[in-house]
Amino acid sequence: MALFPDSPGSLFPDSDVSGHGSAAITIAGDPIGRSDLFGAAAAVAARIAGAPAAAVLATPTLSTAIAIVGCLQAGVPAVPIPPDSGPRERAHLLTDSGAAIWIGDRPDDLPATLPSFVVDPAQRATAPAEPDSDSTAMIMYTSGTTGSPKGALIPRRALAAQLDGLAEAWQWGPDDVLVQGLPLFHVHGLVLGLLGPLRVGSRLIHTGKPRPELYAAAAERGGTMFFGVPTVWSRIAAAPGAARALSSARLLISGSAGLPSTVFRDVKALAGQGPIERYGMTETLITLAARAGGEGRPGWVGSPITGVEARIVDDHGRPVPTDGEAIGDLQIRGTTVFDGYLGRPEATAESFTADGWFRTGDVAAVDDHDQHRIVGRAAQDLIKSGGYRVGAGEIEAVLLDYPGIEEAAVVGEPDQDLGQRIVAYVVGDRVDERAVIDWVAGQLSVHKRPRAIRTVGSLPRNAMGKIQKSLLG
Cβ-contact 399, 408 below 8 angstroms: yes
* Model pLDDT, residue 322: 97
Query: What is the dihedral angle through the alpha carbons of 261, 262, 263, 265, rounded to the nearest 10 degrees?
Result: 90
Residues 79-102, mean pLDDT to the nearest whole number: 92
Query: Which of 223, 246, 280 finishes a domain?
Result: 280
Instruction: Classify residue 160: in a domain, yes or no.
Output: yes
Q: Using one digit for the tens of pLDDT, what is the confidence trace for 136-170?
A: 999 999 865 555 789 999 999 999 999 999 999 99
Let me know whether 268 and 413 are in one domain: no
Query: Which of 264, 280, 296 finishes a domain?
Result: 280
Q: How far apart are CA 430 and CA 428, in angstroms?
A: 7
At 13, is the pLDDT very low, low, confident or very high (cuts 50, 70, 90)?
A: confident
Pairwise pLDDT comparison (254 vs 8), residue with the higher score? 254
Query: Which of 280, 296, 319 finishes a domain?
Result: 280
Instruction: Classify residue 339: in a domain, yes or no.
Output: no
At 20, is the pLDDT very low, low, confident or very high (cuts 50, 70, 90)?
A: very low
Q: Using one digit for the tens of pLDDT, what is the confidence trace for 233-268?
A: 999 999 999 999 999 999 999 998 788 888 999 999
Structure pTM? 0.83
pLDDT at 304 over 60: yes
Instruction: Classify residue 305: in a domain, yes or no.
Output: no
Let me know whether 275 and 393 are in one domain: no
Total domain count for the chain? 2
Print the domain residue range for 452. 386-471
Say which CATH number the domain at 394 has. 3.30.300.30
Q: Using one digit for the tens of pLDDT, what is the confidence trace for 339-377?
A: 999 999 999 999 999 999 999 999 999 999 999 999 877
Q: How far apart are CA 186 and CA 140, in angstroms?
A: 8
**Cα-atom radius of gyration of the chain, to the nearest Å?**
22
Instruction: Classify residue 191: in a domain, yes or no.
Output: yes
Say which CATH number the domain at 174 has. 3.40.50.12780
The residue among 309, 296, 302 whose CA lies nearest residue 335 is 309
Let me know whether 114 and 254 are in one domain: yes
